[in-house]
């Protein structure tokens, strides 16, 4: 009996290091598996939170780029020298103000004529509304009036921000361009000191 106990004791001390090693190996394996599982979960979460939104953002940016490119293909770049060509008339909203400005301008040189204009104001408005202003490719400028055409010349100056009119008697006038497109022309007439909108007749 004593021999058996002694043998068991020797065996216990002999195998103890192996038992301890096996325990720590198992513990290490458990920790490793736990770490791997946590890492996989973390990667999946990051993929859901970051990668998918980034992919969605990339798709949005790509779609926006396609839309911009498509729209750019149909965008017309304004060319003031071409946009101004052709006939114009005063927009209805600008006729009353322009009529009054013409009367006030006439008053400075001929008060009696200005008085007659005021007395016949409705006719004056109709006359101003019927005026046609034509800018031609050869830089000639013609105003069609009930009394006949009045010819001048024009040129765009100040980096297309102004238009200079030179009359047949050599006098000049430079109007400021507030807006110029193929269908709208808004000018500040420096002589009358008023702003007028011109549209196509």
Euclidean distance between CA atoms 175 and 166, whole angstroms: 11
More confident residue, 13 or 122: 122
Look at 15-29, 59-73, 157-171 and tell me which has the smallest mean pLDDT: 59-73
Euclidean distance between CA atoms 116 and 112, whole angstroms: 6
> Nearest CA to 78 among 197, 183, 186, 187?
183
Helices 121-130 and 111-119 sit at what angle, rounded to 10 degrees?
Answer: 90
Position 38 scores a pLDDT of 73
Position 56 scores a pLDDT of 57
> CB–CB of 175/188 below 8 Å?
yes
User: In sequence order, what are the beta bridge partners of 174?
Assistant: 164
Average pLDDT, rounded, for the chain: 79
Position 66 scores a pLDDT of 45
Q: What's the mean pLDDT in 151-163?
A: 97
The share of the chain scoring above pLDDT 90, in percent, equals: 58
pLDDT tier, 179 (very low <50, low <70, confident <90, very high otherwise): very high
- Indicate whether 105 pLDDT > 80: yes
Fold classification of 80-199 is Lipocalin (2.40.128)
Burial of 125 (0-12, 13-18, 19+ CB in 10 A): middle
Position 182 scores a pLDDT of 95
- Indicate whether 118 pLDDT > 50: yes
Q: Which residues contact 133 (CB under 8 A, 6 or more apart)?
A: 87, 88, 89, 141, 142, 143, 144, 198
pTM metric for this prediction? 0.62
Extents of the domains making up the chain = 1-75, 80-199
- Indicate whether 69 pLDDT > 50: no
Residue 56 three-state SS: helix
Euclidean distance between CA atoms 31 and 21, whole angstroms: 15
Q: What's the mean pLDDT in 171-189?
A: 96
Q: Which residues of 102-122 are buried (b: 16+ CB within 10 A; e: fewer)?
A: bbeebeeeeeeebeebeeeee
């Amino acid at each position: 009996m004593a021999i058996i106990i002694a043998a068991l004791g020797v065996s216990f001390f002999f195998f103890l290091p192996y038992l301890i090693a096996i325990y720590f190996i198992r513990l290490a394996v458990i920790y490793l598996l736990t770490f791997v599982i946590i890492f996989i979960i973390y990667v999946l979460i990051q993929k859901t939170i970051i990668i998918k939104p980034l992919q969605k953002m990339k798709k949005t940016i790509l779609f926006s780029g396609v839309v911009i490119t498509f729209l750019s293909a149909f965008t017309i770049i304004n060319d003031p020298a071409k946009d101004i060509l052709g006939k114009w008339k005063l927009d209805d909203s600008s006729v009353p103000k322009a009529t009054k400005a013409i009367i006030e301008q006439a008053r400075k040189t001929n008060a009696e004529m200005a008085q007659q204009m005021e007395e016949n104001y409705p006719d004056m408005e109709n006359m101003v509304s019927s005026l046609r202003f034509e800018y031609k490719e050869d830089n000639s400028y013609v105003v069609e009036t009930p009394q006949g055409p009045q010819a001048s010349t024009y040129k765009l100056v100040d980096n297309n921000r102004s238009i200079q009119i030179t009359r047949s008697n050599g006098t000049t006038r430079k109007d400021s361009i507030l807006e110029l497109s193929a269908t709208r022309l808004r000018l500040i007439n420096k002589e009358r000191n008023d702003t007028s909108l011109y549209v196509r007749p």
